[in-house]
Amino acid sequence: MALEMARTKPTVVVTRKLPDVVETRMMELFDVQLNINDRAFSQDELAAATGACDVLVPNLTDRIDAALIAQAGPRLKLIANFGNGTDHIDVAAARSKGIAVTNTPGVLTEDTADMAMALMVSVPRRLVEGARMIQAGEFKGWSPTHMLGHRTYGKRLGIIGMGRIGTAVARRAKGFGMAVHYHNRRRLLPELEAEVEATYWESLDQMLARMDVISIHCPHTPATFHLLSERRLKLLKPSAYIINTARGEIVDEEALIRMLEAGELAGAGLDVFEHEPAVNPKLLTMKNVILLPHMGSATIESRINMGEKVIINIRAFCDGHTPPDRVLPT
C-alpha cells in the first residue's frame, strides 16, 4: 500500500480546519479534502471518510472507535492524528486491521506548561475574579484586606505524570520558588531529577496529602480514568489547589465540585472537563475556579508544528518507511 501511494498522491481527509500554511503544504503534496468550514464531522461522516481515503487526519474531537475502524474501507492505511493524545482512537483495533496510527508529540510541551503555570499563579491570586470586578465597575479603591489571595513562592507542587509536559512545568515551578514533587510510573533519571530539583513519591496517596498544589500531566487511559477519585481528592489539604491541563476524565469531576462547594479544597484551574465540551453548570458559578476552553496548546506556533509533524508522518509512511511518531497499542 505504501508503494502504491508513493506513485501517486495519497488521498487525505482532514476532519477540521488547520492553519493556512499547513493546509497549503498539504495541497501541494497530497490529494487532500479540507474542512474549510471547521464543522466537526458526525460519526456517519467519519465512516464515509474512512471508506474513501488512504489517510485520515482526525483530532481529539473525533471518536475513532473499534466499530468505526471495522467498517473502514480497504484503502485506509494510516490515521495521522492531529494531536498528542490518542485516547479517542482505538489503536489496537486499528493495528489489527493493518492501519497505522501516528500522533504529534513534543510540540505542545512548552505551551501547555505555560498554561499550567499561568493557572497555578492565577487561581490562588484571584486574577480572573479581580478582572471581572474591574469590568463590572465594582472596584472602589485599594485597601489592606482587599482581594487577598495566596502566594506561589515556597509552596509545594505535586506533579502527576512527569513526562515532557510535567518536566517542563517542573522547570517553570522551580523558577517561581516552588518545591517540586512528583509521582510517575517510572522515576526520572537521577540527572534529570537533580536538574529540576524534584522529589519522587512512589505512593500517589502519600504525595497528595502533603501538597499545596496538584498539577495533572498524565495521559487519559483506562488506568488513569478517575485517577483522582473522591477517595484521593479527600486526601488533599483544604488549602490545596487542583490544576488540570491534561484530560478531564482523570478527575472525578462530581466529587471535585462537591469538595469545592464544601470548602474542602481551596480552588481549581481547569482547561479540560470530564464531559467536554459540556461544562458542569455548578463550576460556572464558583469564584475560586478558573475555567478555560481546552486552550492549553492553543498557539499558532504549536498548531503549525503539529501540522508539520502530520505531514512528515504521512510522507514517511507513503514512502514505505516507519513514521517517526507511530503509536502502538498499550
pLDDT tens digits along 189-231? 999 999 999 999 999 999 999 999 999 999 999 999 999 999 9
Backbone angles phi, psi at 188, to 5 degrees: -65, 160
CA distance between the termini of the chain: 25
CA distances from 271 to 9, 83, 180, 293 (A): 38, 16, 21, 6
Catalytically annotated residues: 247, 276, 294
Determine if residue 261 is left, alpha or beta; phi over 0 gives left, psi from -120 to 50 gives alpha, anything else beta. alpha
Average pLDDT over residues 296-303: 96
Do residues 120 and 215 touch, judged by C-beta distance below 8 A? yes
Whether the bond into 277 is cis, omega within 30 of 0: yes
User: What whole-number distance in Å separates Cα of residue 80 and Cα of residue 105?
Assistant: 12
From 1-15, 128-142, 160-174, the region with the lowest mean pLDDT = 1-15
Q: What is the pLDDT, as a whole number, of residue 52?
A: 92
pTM greater than 0.85 (yes/no): yes
User: What whole-number distance in Å separates Cα of residue 215 and Cα of residue 273?
Assistant: 15
Q: Which residue has the higher pLDDT, 6 or 222?
A: 222
Q: Which tens digits make up the pLDDT trace of 255-292?
A: 999 999 999 999 999 999 999 999 999 999 999 999 99
Cβ neighbors of 250 (< 8 A, separation 6 or more) are 160, 216, 218, 220, 224, 225, 226, 227, 228, 244
The answer to whether domain 2-107+299-318 and domain 109-291 are alike in fold is: yes
Q: What angle do CA 210, 173, 115 make, to 5 degrees?
A: 110
Under CATH, which architecture does the 2-107+299-318 domain have?
3-Layer(aba) Sandwich (3.40)
Q: What is the pLDDT, as a whole number, of residue 107?
A: 93
Backbone angles phi, psi at 97, to 5 degrees: -100, 5
Q: Which residue has the cell 483544604?
A: 238
Measuring CA to CA, which residue among 35, 83, 2, 27 is closest to residue 307?
83
> Residue 21: which pLDDT band, with cuts at 50, 70 and 90?
very high
Cα-trace Rg, the chain = 22
Q: What is the pLDDT, as a whole number, of residue 8?
A: 80
Q: Which residue has the cell 489517510?
A: 55
> How many Cβ atoms sit within 10 Å of the Cβ of residue 161?
22
> Residue 7: which pLDDT band, with cuts at 50, 70 and 90?
low
Asked whether residue 3 carries a pLDDT value surpassing 60, the answer given is no
83-108 CB burial, b ≥16 within 10 A, e <16: bbbbebbbbebbbeeebbbbbbbebb
What are the boundaries of each domain within the chain? 2-107+299-318, 109-291
Q: Superfamily assignment of 109-291 in CATH? A: NAD(P)-binding Rossmann-like Domain (3.40.50.720)
> Residue 2: which pLDDT band, with cuts at 50, 70 and 90?
very low
